[in-house]
Each structure stands twice: as structure tokens, then as C-alpha cells.
Structure 1
Amino acid sequence: MKQNNVLLASLMLIMSMSAFAKVDDLKQEVKIKAVSQTADIKNNQIIFFGPVEVTQGSIKIHADQLRAFSAEGENSKILVATGNPATYSQVLDDGRPASASAKEIRYDMASRTLTLKGKASLDQAGSQVTGNLIRYNIIQQKLIAESTGSGDDRVITIIQPESYQDDAKPDAPADKPVKKQDSK
């Protein structure tokens, strides 16, 4: 039973990536660098052609193309980064890196859902989930990973042991012996 609890805790750690995102990142300006861009004001859409680099605090997105638009008749904003692969990275509040990559990274701001399509990978503190499709609801902290179901294509989850995660913390002393205090 204890082993199941450790496995469940490790899976929850992977899935809670955005719950630990640096709060200050979302307060920073968004800067988009691209080779060119087009804006379709009537249809409320901007397309950036790349390479494209988006930064907001420690958040970084690299893509071949980035499309920002509102769904028809809705107030929802959607960002779609495409590439071979498109990548996302961020430093979490605890200082550890988190990253994602896929041929398409789609973020729906209204539903707070991140969808990774095509050779999708989500990595936090060395633990990783890969599949053809990964959907992550940030608010509900629910993750769904799927494969194509053909051939050897499968969803793969790699969970690092707790000692790896403790060693990955940036404030952990590297190769320093712990001194025992004299008890006088």
C-alpha cells in the first residue's frame, strides 16, 4: 500500500506543474520575437512566423509559428505554437525546471487547458510523461495522456526516485558532507 501512495504522490507531482509555477512570471510583460507577423483584425487573430520566441519571466516558448486568436463568438483567447518540436520551459517556485515539447502546443486561457499534440512530452524534475496527446487542465490539475494505439506507440511515464528529486533542488549542497553538531 505504501508503494502505491509513493507512486500516486509522484504522479501528482508531475501533474501539478502549473500549480507551482512562479507567481511572478504571470505578472511580467510578454515579449514575442519573430521574423514576421500578420494581423487579421476583423477575425481577431495574429500569426507570428519564426523562429518565434516568447518570454514572460522564466517562461520561454520556442516555435516555428505562433497563432493567437479568440474563438468565434467567445471571449476566450487561444495560443497555438507549432514546430518540430515547439518547446515550453519554466522555472518553478521551488527552483526546479519544467518543460514540455510537441509538434503543437495549444493553450486555452479560458479553460486553462494545455494540450500537447504529436510526439508530446511533459517533464518536471526529471520525471516525464510522453505520448501522442497530452491534455492538462491547470485548474483541476488533471492530466490525460494518450497514444495513437498503433504498433509500439504507448504512453510512457518515468518517475524518478525521491532522492533524485531532492538532489535536483538548486539549494541542495553538492558533494558536501553534513557536519554533526557536538552535543555538549
Structure 2
Amino acid sequence: MLLAVIVAPATVSARSSDRNKDMDIDAGNAVYSLDDSQPTVLTEGVTITQGTLDIRANRADITQRGGEPVRVVLTGAPAKLNQQLDDGTPMSATATKVDYDLTTEIVIFTGNVRIQQPRGSLSGQRVVYNMRTGQVQSGGKDSGRVKMRILPRNAQGGG
């Protein structure tokens, strides 16, 4: 429950207006199929921006159905995501791999995960976040330990 207090506000309250903005993608290389039969593969310094969302990765695999993205897998050393929350505060996340299923709205961060926001931080080897329910799951068997830091309300913005 405490984990949800830290992470869920950051991701649940991610800038909701960003989804209605244009998405800009920049990569050194792109391989894609016009008929959605194969995922689009972006490599060589991938940057994806949409509103306040800023993603940096070595590789992005984007699976589409009917011309709409349904799954995005980002890999990097690490992959980095930064976004402003609806209240204007920043949230950042890094992981070796980020797997976002747009149909279920579940994001799985794996490998040296670190999620940081003004109220605190969360780190571990695997974090599963359900954007629909706000539920966060981390740690457990084969997933390593979870580390959290929660700052007092009057110390936000400290480190």
C-alpha cells in the first residue's frame, strides 16, 4: 500500500493532456512494415516526445494493429522516461527495459529500475504498474528487493 502512495500518484497523474499532443520520433534507423505485419523497430539513439513526455532509448519496438500502437518495448542502457505530472511536478524513470501494453495499460519496468518524483523514489529489479487500477507491484521471488525513500511533505524537492 505504501508503494502505491509513492509511485501511483506520479504515474496516475502523468500529464493527461500529453495523449492529445503530436508525437515526434527521432532515431538513427527505422525498419517498419506498412501493413502492421512486423513491429516497427527504431534504433540508434531513439527519442520520442509527446507533450511533456520525453523518452530516450537505444531501441524501441512498436507493435501496431490497424495502424494504432498496441505495445511499445524500450531498451537501453538505460531507457529513460521523463514527464510532468498534472500538477506540474516532474517524474522520471529509468530501466534496462520498459514494456508498455497499451491495450491493458500495464507497464513493466525491468533491470535496474529507478522511479523518482519529488515525494520520493523507488528502485528495484522489476516494477509492474497497472495504469487503470493504479496498482504497483515490485520485488518478490526472483525480482530482487525493493528500496523506497519517502520524503516528508515539507522536504519535497530535497534529494
TM-score using structure 1 length: 0.76
Give the drift of 1:123.
1.5
Contact kept? 2:119, 2:152, Cα under 8 Å: no
Instruction: Output the CA distance in 1 between the equivalents of 2:74 and 2:102.
Output: 14
How many positions carry a matched residue from both structures? 154
Q: Equivalent of 2:95, from 82, 98, 102?
A: 102
Amino acid at match of 2:150: I
The structural deviation recorded for 1:70 is 4.1
Q: Is the 8 A contact 2:4 2:134 kept in 1?
A: no
1:158 equivalent among 110, 131, 149: 149
State the partner residue of 1:181.
Answer: none
Give the TM-score, by structure 2 length. 0.87
Structure 2 Cα separation of the partners of residues 106 and 141 of structure 1: 17
Q: Which runs of 5+ in 1 are unaligned?
A: 1-6, 169-184
> How far apart, CA to CA, are the structure 2 residues paired with 1:49 and 1:149?
30
Say which structure, 1 or 2, has more relative contact order (CA 8 Å, 6+ apart). 2
Give yes or no for contact 2:119–2:153 (8 Å, CA) kept in 1: no
- Establish whether residue 45 from structure 1 lines up as the match of residue 36 from structure 2: no
Q: Indicate the residue corresponding to 1:86 in structure 2.
A: 79
What is the root-mean-square deviation of aligned Cα atoms in Å?
2.2
Structure 1 position 117, deviation (Å)? 0.6
Give the letter for the 2:134 counterpart. Answer: Q
For the pair shown, the structure with the greater C-alpha radius of gyration is: 1
Aligned partner of 1:116 in structure 2 is: 109
- The Cα shift of 1:19 comes to 2.1
The 2-side partners of 1:66 and 1:34 are apart by 9
